[in-house]
Amino acid sequence: MTTEGETDALFFFLPFANRPGTDLMSKHILQTDEVKSAIIEAVIGRKAIGHYWPRPTEWANRMRSDVLYATEQP
């Protein structure tokens, strides 16, 4: 016998654009407020939350990162 939650999990699917290997899911997750705040608090400290935002992650040499958190430029 399965529960409703187990049945939902059986029919869960990712859109084609977010399939494994595209790294889009990790990029989306790393940009959520909850995850962003947890990472910034762990690395920099609680006072830094709200002062860092995701930035573009494609570099001049065409390399890409999943996420870059940076402050506003003065």
Q: How do residues 6-18 score in pLDDT, each as one tens digit?
A: 666 677 666 776 6
Is 1 a member of any domain?
no
Is 8 a member of any domain?
no
CB atoms within 10 A of CB 44: 13
Total tally of structural domains belonging to the chain:
1
Distances (CA, A) of 69 to 1, 6, 13, 33, 49: 45, 36, 29, 12, 11
pLDDT band at 55; cut points 50, 70, 90 = confident
Per-residue pLDDT, 25? 75
Is 12 a member of any domain?
no
Question: pLDDT by residue (tens digit) across 64-73?
Answer: 887 889 987 6
Is 22 a member of any domain?
yes
Is 34 a member of any domain?
yes
Domain that holds residue 42: 18-70
In the chain, % of residues over pLDDT 90: 24
- Mean pLDDT for 47-62 is 88
Per-residue pLDDT, 58? 83
Is 2 a member of any domain?
no
Is 3 a member of any domain?
no
Is 9 a member of any domain?
no
